[in-house]
């Protein structure tokens, strides 16, 4: 652990708070993440936030190719020097939230396996991006804030259950592989982390004619999660039919229920009867 910290100091690299940088410095955890990724010589791996490249190097020893995307220009310069003699490892400078995955996907010739230690402030929006472009990725192995991980696996009736739970679980199977204490990072975050594995289902839990509308209905309900379903929808700003309560009762959905009690299938039925 000490050697990674020392390398940071020797290079004059200090964690940037605005980028949410928390370097994973526990080598035992690094090795455990690499083992959990189950990378083979057929895999093209996309790593987000490689830091000093400790995990990047380990992945490159097992994968066909590793593409590491890093936003910090100083780290990019160091990584390119450090790994200039490793032909199957490419360091790319860029903002992962804005990055165009299509050229990487085309070059890889197959869906990529994602491995990432994500800054907390971008984890949720990046998850939504991965969902939208899921055909480009075979699986996701992500280090996330423990709270976000618990939202991903939450079931109806649980206080953590919400839009993220629904959108992710509809198309994937999610598992928390293990938890990580703050001491494993430098600087230590204020909360625990979790390593989460996301694998796409062969077919979604429910098929949707209009995924965009489904997401608007779910989000509209949860924007007012303390209200009943009917009141939350009325405050949502969505274009709703005048006979909304009658329609809900026709699908045996009590308008007085709370949004967090609905299953994914019930949300799908609700979205269908509310379509303009």
91 lies in the same domain as 196: yes
49: domain CATH number? 3.40.50.150
22 lies in the same domain as 159: yes
Given a contact cutoff of 8 angstroms between Cβ atoms, the answer to whether 16 and 7 are in contact is no
What is the band of 15 on the pLDDT scale with cuts at 50, 70, 90? low
67 lies in the same domain as 40: yes
232 lies in the same domain as 175: no
Looking at 150, 179, 200, which one is the last position of a domain? 200
SS3 261: helix
Looking at the domain assignment, is residue 149 inside a domain?
yes
266 lies in the same domain as 179: no
194 lies in the same domain as 222: no
User: H helices within 67-155, ranges in order?
Assistant: 73-82, 102-108, 120-132, 146-153
Looking at the domain assignment, is residue 77 inside a domain?
yes
Give 17-32 pLDDT, tens digit per residue.
Answer: 777 778 898 999 999 9
Given a contact cutoff of 8 angstroms between Cβ atoms, the answer to whether 181 and 26 are in contact is no
Give 195-222 pLDDT, tens digit per residue.
Answer: 999 999 999 999 999 999 999 999 999 9
What is the band of 51 on the pLDDT scale with cuts at 50, 70, 90? confident
138 lies in the same domain as 254: no
- As for how many domains the chain has, the answer is 2
Instruction: Check residue 146 and give its pLDDT.
Output: 96
156 lies in the same domain as 115: yes
pTM, two decimal places: 0.90
245 lies in the same domain as 186: no
Of residues 152, 161, 105, the one with CA closest to residue 127? 152
Give the integer Cα–Cα distance in Å for 8 and 24: 12
Looking at the domain assignment, is residue 47 inside a domain?
yes
Structural domain containing residue 78? 2-200
């Amino acid at each position: 652990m000490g050697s990674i910290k020392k390398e940071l100091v020797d290079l004059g690299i200090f964690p940037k708070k605005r980028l949410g940088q928390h370097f994973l410095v526990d080598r035992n955890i690094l090795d455990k993440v690499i083992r959990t990724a189950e990378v083979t010589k057929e895999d093209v791996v996309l790593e987000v936030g490689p830091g000093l490249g400790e995990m990047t190097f380990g992945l490159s020893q097992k994968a066909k190719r590793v593409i590491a995307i890093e936003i910090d220009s100083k780290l990019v310069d160091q990584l390119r020097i450090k790994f200039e003699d490793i032909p199957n490892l490419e360091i790319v400078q860029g903002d992962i939230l804005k990055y165009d995955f299509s050229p990487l996907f085309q070059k890889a010739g197959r869906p990529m396996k994602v491995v990432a230690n994500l800054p907390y402030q971008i984890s949720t929006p990046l998850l939504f991006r991965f969902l939208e472009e899921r055909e480009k990725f075979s699986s996701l192995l992500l280090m996330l804030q423990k709270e976000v991980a618990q939202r991903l696996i939450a079931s109806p009736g649980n206080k953590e259950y919400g839009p993220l739970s629904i959108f992710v679980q509809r198309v994937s199977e999610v598992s928390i592989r293990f938890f990580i204490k703050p001491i494993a990072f430098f600087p230590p975050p204020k909360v625990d982390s979790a390593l989460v594995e996301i694998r796409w289902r062969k077919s979604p839990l429910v098929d949707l004619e209009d995924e965009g509308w489904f997401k608007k209905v779910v989000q509209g309900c949860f924007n007012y999660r303390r209200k009943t379903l009917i009141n939350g929808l009325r405050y949502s700003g969505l274009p709703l039919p005048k006979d909304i309560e009658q329609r809900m009762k026709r699908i045996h959905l009590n308008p007085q229920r709370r949004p967090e009690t609905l299953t994914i299938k019930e949300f799908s039925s609700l979205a269908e009867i509310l379509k303009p």
